[in-house]
A and B are shown apart, each in its own frame.
Chain A
Amino acid sequence: MHRTIARIRSVIPALVATALIVASPASAEAQGNAPWDRVDPAQELLDGATPRAESIQIDLPSVTQDGSSVPLSIEVDHPMRSDDYIEALYVFATRNPSPEVVEYHFTPLAGKARISTRVRLNESQTVFALARTSRGAWLAGTREIRVTVSGCIAQGNAEKGPDFMQTRVRAASRARPGEPLDVRTLINHPMETGLREDSNGNAIPERIVHSFRAEINGETVLTARFHRAVSANPYLLFYIAPGQSGPLHLTWEEDTGETATATAEIPAA
């Protein structure tokens, strides 16, 4: 744990000066200077396309003292109709050891392209999201965050405990007519990054939950790919479109191939 802090500390000085205000998206785009222009995996995804910097709202605290678990919510303001919906949402952190944070693949059954989760942010940086519509258009959004190291706030590193791979799910009990229903999920898992050492100084190998799937009546609502920047005990809040009811099946898969499941009953509206 102390090792991790020391490592995080060592990279901070170079970055503190990171400007808190980026150029406005439009001008950044024009200059080829947007954060997605500097991140290779984002460039591969875009494959030459230029995203419109609009419609994505990223909620992050402006300052956090615990980079190991930063609450993140993203909403894409876009229809979720069968002929035009958000089919994918990718999240990147420009100054993490690897920039990929998490990705989500929605179907119209999700009702809205909005999620909440918790992520690891190594240092002060730009977080950005890219969304692809079913018609092939790209949208983008950015947000700055300052990460400080505080001796007063413990930095979390969950260990593999007796509740390993235990899952939790809760769907909202009262569906509001015509509104998507929120579903909260959690799996207990340390999400070992492979960047940490144990108390004897030996590297702890990477071991993460890498995928998540939610299905209702055999149809996919959402799948997710978790990278190591998803915080320990991955938490995910997502939505289900109105009019859907029945058992919601959730499956998490670890990179060992081990899976865990959970089921929730989605009430009729």
Chain B
Amino acid sequence: MTRMPMNRRQALKRMGTVGAGSLLAGAGVPLFAGSRTDRVVVVGGGFGGATAAKYLKRLAPGLNVTLVEPAKRYYTCPFTNLYLGGMREFESLGHDYRELSDRYDVRVLHAFAQDVDVEGRRLQLENGSTLRWDRLILSPGIDFRWGDLEGYDKRAPEQAPHAWKAGPQTKLLRKQLVAMEDGGTFILVAPDNPFRCPPGPYERVSMIANYFKKNKPRSKILLLDAKDTFSKQGLFEEGWRTHYGDMIEWVGRSADGRVVRVDPELLEVETEFGTVHKASVLNVVPPQKAGAIAHRAGVADDSGWVPIDPHTFRARRAEGVYVLGDATQAAPMPKSGFVANTQAKVAARAVIADLAGEPAPEPSWANTCYSVIAPEWGITVANVYEVHEGTLREVPGSGGVSPLDADAAFRSREAAYAEAWYAAITQDIWGTRPA
């Protein structure tokens, strides 16, 4: 467990890390590559994992970094709602791993990670091969708690899509919306906290209303919610009134909005107090937990999520394993792509310091969640986070949501910045060039 103590300069040089002294001159650009290689394996090529792989190599080019991600082209959950609303092409949400492999020399393995041997420091892939690691970073996203919602089993999404992982499910939902008759009812079933992308369900109904308004104006949207409040609620409700009149009806938990049973064949849902609603198109966002590999690695606790050391995002339950993104218990940080990106940078620096036998640098995280309610109408929540007395918190005085009484020009600026944010963060992660 303990490493041979090593001179800091030697250790960092070994990994090819740029020294702090060259920071101002070289602005963080590494100057040389190391010789001996520590192996870091990253599982998951999304917002957390791909960022971690890139920043490990930016900060320590001598590291041997392997990224394990099944998809050759990764489609982001953020902005799938704009696709559903007819504001974006699906392909514009796809990103590849060429920058990581070609420019950053990350070994990208398109494979499925199956199991982790924490003790033996090995990752087993579904294709039978095994990867050894000195440090492991898991960024597995979410899995669904099949069976928690009666009737919504693994087959149900074929009729009633979740579309909460970007890909065929997103396209299926879009196809159903396009096929729906004018005057139909779209029902979205939203889960209780915590879940991936807290404003996501509300942005989704906004974007679908945008599509209906232009194409199927007699249609209705019913959002059945397991909660009594939701992210950016006042701003969403204001935007819905402004753009969609009474097309969107939100039913909170205390108004009998909590769905307890789904019939995917009949497209019916039943609420806690026995109301049955019939949908033309039914979108169920199921209860969630950390992605499977986190459970295989034994780093998740009985909440289904992964407790982490907030300074470094090292898993509390395993040596040498770091966990990022939606899979973690990082409250008050939301499960957002932006947060996963900043967590990955904190973890990349912590891993490098850890391998060098150094204390981790002081962490810093931020979040900005953009939601688009209509074309030219965006809203945000933003925060900066810190560790205070051993737990994460919002930096006092920082953060907050867009003002409620802002004018159309303000909303329009935030909508434009939403597009700019997407271009910038996908550049930062996958190297996608801003259009």
Contacts and interface: CB of A to CB of B under 8 A. Distances in A.
Interface of A: 9, 12-13, 16-17, 61-66, 68-69, 71, 146, 148-156, 158, 163, 168-170, 184, 186, 188, 232-233, 235
Contacts of B256: 168, 186
Interface SS of chain A: loop
Contact of B331 (A68, A69, A148, A188): A148
B391 A16 contact: yes
Contacts of B232: 154
Given A62-B303, A65-B193, A151 B228 contact: no
A158 B273 contact: no
Contacts, number: 98
Given A65-B332, A170-B273, A154 B230 contact: yes
Contact of A152 (B192, B253, B329, B334): B334
Interface in B267-300: 272-274
Contacts of A158: 228, 254
A212 to B, nearest CB: 16
Nearest to A124: B391
Contacts of B393: 12, 16, 148-149
B358 interface: no
Given A63-B303, A158-B228, A163-B255, A151 B193 contact: no
Nearest to A231: B228
Nearest to A62: B303
Contacts of B233: 154
B331 A154 contact: no
Given A152-B381, A184-B273, A188-B255, 17 more contacts: A9-B396, A16-B393, A17-B389, A61-B303, A62-B329, A65-B193, A66-B193, A68-B229, A146-B391, A148-B331, A151-B383, A151-B399, A152-B367, A152-B383, A153-B334, A154-B230, A184-B272
Q: Is the interface of B mostly helix, strand, loop or mixed?
A: loop
Contacts of B392: 148
Interface of B: 192-194, 198-199, 228-233, 253-256, 272-274, 301, 303, 329, 331-334, 336, 367, 369, 381, 383, 388-394, 396, 399-401
A62 B170 CA distance: 33
Residue among B228, B253, B401 facing the most chain A CB atoms (10 A cut-off): B228
A12 B199 CA distance: 26
B254 A13 contact: no
A150 B335 CA distance: 12
Nearest to A10: B396
B274 A152 contact: no
Nearest to A155: B229
A232 B228 contact: yes
Given A16-B389, A163-B255, A184-B273, A151 B329 contact: no
A184 B260 CA distance: 12
B396 A65 contact: no
A65 B331 contact: yes
A11 to B, nearest CB: 13
Nearest to B255: A163
Contacts of B193: 64-66, 153
A63 B273 contact: no
Nearest to A234: B254
Q: Which of A65, A152, A184 has the most CB of B within 10 A?
A: A152
